[in-house]
Amino acid sequence: MQTLKKIHPPTHLLTYIVISIVLHFLYPLHQLIRIPYSLLGIMLIAAGVILNIWADRIFKKQKTTVKPYEKPNALIKSGPYRLSRNPMYLGMVLILFGVSFILGSVMSFIGPIFFIIAMERVFIPEEEKTMKENFGDDYLLYKRKVRKWI
């Protein structure tokens, strides 16, 4: 787990995209989604990119860090953070599922599943601990009101 913590989430995203593509071509077991339905993946990717850009801009506007292991100086509760405590990770999941939809095979869906597991086990618990330490009851109230993913 320590090694996974040193790799930032965008690198995980790219790694799991590559894993999805490689598995799709190495083990083309079953094609779940075919054209034209597979093209829905383009919309998922676009939605994920837009969500990430939106969330990142809010962080920059508040002059706080997006890096999981740096101390934040603001508790963001606006924009996409009204609906999800982790909209950047949600955006990355949408991108991964978009790639999987485009590829359409069973094996291509392994990437997004393992990405979610990595975020749930490696990053989110650490970030929530930091948020609780830095923002106390304000964060706990926010956590009770807003879901982790969506």
**Assigned token pair, 72:** 């934040």
The b/e string for 102-123 (b: 16+ C-beta within 10 A; e otherwise) is bbbbbbbbbbbebbbebbeebb
Question: Model's pTM, two decimal places?
Answer: 0.93
- Summarize pLDDT for 18-73 with one digit per residue, the tens: 999 999 999 988 889 999 999 999 999 999 999 999 999 999 999 999 888 888 99
- Summarize pLDDT for 122-144 with one digit per residue, the tens: 999 999 999 999 999 999 999 99
> Minimal CA–CA distance to 95: which of 36, 19, 23, 13?
13
| Annotated domain spans of the chain | 2-145
Give yes or no for a contact between 106 and 30, defined as CB atoms under 8 angstroms apart: yes
Give yes or no for a contact between 69 and 126, defined as CB atoms under 8 angstroms apart: yes
Report the alpha-carbon distance of residue 50 to residue 44 in Å, rounded. Answer: 10
